[in-house]
Structure 1
């Protein structure tokens, strides 16, 4: 009897902790979404009043480029056939390195510079960008918890996942992965500064090719036909177009929204790299080639940033 009571108490305590975790995640996502929606509303009004056609056009072109580059990688899978897991992990590591470098040199540092132009107090510009990064992390945490998707190491996640097929859960996971990349493209063009927008967009377009290839191969392994795998993998790139629209919307009006938006996109991208991409590259025991690929991607982004910036 005492053992049964102890088990019951333990179950209740575990359930209470889980409810608290979900409550905090819900609160965090709600805060991030409210801030994003307010920025979108305010900046849409400002954009209409001041005319932001060129910035919107650049952001949308960047988003379309993100979709096209993902599709190029996906359809390469039709020509290349099977690729060794070691090579796939190295390519994904390369993409992760480019994302990390782009987050640092094309989002965080320009964000601090933009905040310094508005705020003269020491360290406050850094705090502004860090606040944006925190919002980006909260947004991705909320989407990760409350959107049905699948991780290879954890299986199906999110509400209603038991009612959705495995392929579509994987599709949603990759689509969530692509959202912050599109946001980064949109935010990078919000100030109409080509020295920020062009290197970042070029980096994302380059890294989307091996990423799209790896996704198509993974979908083929999930028993899709080669053509369908390429089509579905290409479809995940549409989230970059949506993300670009959101990015330009949240950072294209109020001056302080620009550095906050850059920080938000950086936080979301770094979260995805740490939470999704790097664990995936290490899952098959290829840590060393994946890490070397990451360093190569980081170095390639440095060269790209210096050449285009």
Structure 2
């Protein structure tokens, strides 16, 4: 009986997924292109690394991804020490994280990507176009994941195929996990050329902003009627996507010569998409637009200082 029910649920999920694919052909095609490019670059870079006997850059990228998981867990378990945080404070914290993500995208991904492309191409406009193509791939990837992965947004509610068969807590978990994937990709691709002046400031920025982010996620899960300990554990689990993203990012960036600037652009496009699509709307939905915007400016400025000190 249970096997029959499970089979019926799987079939209904596939039907819902096929329906979504037909309704949103553009997003599906864009995601297919992005995933295909990523898989080809991963395969090519893996073959290169096997021929070279591995490399320090892979270790640095995976350590950075693991650090992203740890920093998320630190923020999540800090929620155990707090009974509650005002919505205004949470919005300021998320705004601060958004500011750091935007600054990291611009100064640690887009600009180094243009510089790397200029070393390979003769015309500056071609270098800029290369990074823009990467950004477009990142946006298409996130559009596809957002459309075809069941999850829940705080304001618009559940979305994606099969949401009615998944608990609200796990929908929220998937939403945050998708949020963390481009951060991990950014860490990974930033170490693709083993350039510490690119990798260290960006990784440090993501690790810093993960702490208030993990805290806010744990508090939100607790508000969804999870126990404080379970909320901290689930919020920490979302950080594992940063480790996966770092592996994907280093694989993308160590392929063909142009793969590095394209990969930097891809990570930047994905991060900017998340900030605009998820984080900023979340900070504004409670009527705290001004404090959240000031938090964003603070985060942007903090990354500038960090980038100057570590870059």
Shorter-normalised TM range: over 0.9
Instruction: Give the secondary structure class of the aligned counterpart of 2:155.
Output: coil
* 1:117 aligned onto 2:119: yes
Instruction: Tell me the equivalent position of 2:83.
Output: 81
Instruction: Tell me the equivalent position of 1:56.
Output: 58
Instruction: Tell me the equivalent position of 2:161.
Output: 159
1:25 Cα shift?
1.1
Alignment of 1:250-265 (within 5 A): 250-265=252-267
1:210 Cα shift?
0.2
- The runs of 5 or more residues in structure 2 that have no matched partner are 1-19
Q: d(CA) in 1 for partners of 2:54 and 2:212?
A: 33
1:39 Cα shift?
0.8
Alignment of 1:82-231 (within 5 A): 82-231=84-233
Instruction: Tell me the equivalent position of 1:29.
Output: 31
Q: Rg larger in 1 or in 2?
A: 1
1:253 Cα shift?
2.5
Is contact 1:47-1:253 (8 Å) kept? Answer: no
1:20 Cα shift?
6.6
1:50 Cα shift?
2.4
Is contact 1:91-1:210 (8 Å) kept? Answer: yes
Q: d(CA) in 1 for partners of 2:21 and 2:215?
A: 39
Q: d(CA) in 2 for partners of 1:287 and 1:56?
A: 40
Task: Provide closer, same or farther for how the CA distance between residues 52 and 112 of structure 1 changes in structure 2, counting only shifts above 3 A.
Answer: farther
**Cα deviation per residue 1:65-105 (whole Å; 9 max; x = unaligned)?**
00000000001101122000000000000000000000000
Q: d(CA) in 2 for partners of 1:24 and 1:203?
A: 33
1:21 Cα shift?
5.0
Runs of 4+ in structure 1 deviating by more than 6 angstroms, as ranges, are none
Task: Provide closer, same or farther for how the CA distance between residues 122 and 53 of structure 1 changes in structure 2, counting only shifts above 3 A.
Answer: closer
Q: d(CA) in 2 for partners of 1:175 and 1:122?
A: 36
1:152 Cα shift?
1.4
Is contact 2:116-2:261 (8 Å) kept? Answer: yes
1:24 Cα shift?
1.1
Is contact 1:85-1:284 (8 Å) kept? Answer: yes
Instruction: Give the secondary structure class of the aligned counterpart of 1:210.
Output: helix
**Cα deviation per residue 1:5-26 (whole Å; 9 max; x = unaligned)?**
xxxxxxxxxxxxx877511111
Instruction: Tell me the equivalent position of 1:6.
Output: none
Instruction: Tell me the equivalent position of 2:289.
Output: 287
Instruction: Tell me the equivalent position of 2:9.
Output: none
Over the aligned positions, Cα root-mean-square deviation in angstroms equals 1.0
Instruction: Give the secondary structure class of the aligned counterpart of 1:123.
Output: helix
**Cα deviation per residue 1:216-268 (whole Å; 9 max; x = unaligned)?**
00000000000000000000000000000000011112111000000000000
Instruction: Give the secondary structure class of the aligned counterpart of 2:24.
Output: helix
**Cα deviation per residue 1:148-205 (whole Å; 9 max; x = unaligned)?**
0001111111111110000000000000000000000000000000000000000000
Task: Provide closer, same or farther for how the CA distance between residues 196 and 52 of structure 1 changes in structure 2, counting only shifts above 3 A.
Answer: farther
Q: d(CA) in 2 for partners of 1:253 and 1:35?
A: 11
Q: d(CA) in 2 for partners of 1:225 and 1:154?
A: 25
Instruction: Tell me the equivalent position of 1:276.
Output: 278
Q: d(CA) in 2 for partners of 1:52 and 1:301?
A: 31
1:52 Cα shift?
3.6
* Pairs aligned (count): 292
TM-score by structure 2 length? 0.92
